[in-house]
Amino acid sequence: MTEQADIQSAARGLVRAAGDGYALPPFETGFPGCTAEGAYPIQRETAELRMKRGGEEISAGLAGIGKVSTGTLE
For the cut 50, the answer to whether the pLDDT of residue 41 exceeds it is no
- What whole-number distance in Å separates Cα of residue 61 and Cα of residue 3? 13
Strands of 1-74 (E only): list them: 23-28, 35-39, 48-52
Question: What pLDDT does 69 receive?
Answer: 43
DSSP three-state, residue 49: strand
For the cut 50, the answer to whether the pLDDT of residue 5 exceeds it is yes
Are 38 and 60 a contacting pair, CB within 8 Å? no
Q: What is the pTM of this model?
A: 0.28
Q: What is the pLDDT of residues 8-22, one digit of tens each?
A: 666 666 655 544 444
pLDDT interval class at 30 (50, 70, 90): low
Tell me what percent of the residues of the chain surpass a pLDDT of 70: 0
- What whole-number distance in Å separates Cα of residue 33 and Cα of residue 54? 7
Residue 58: closest CA among 15, 3, 13, 1: 3
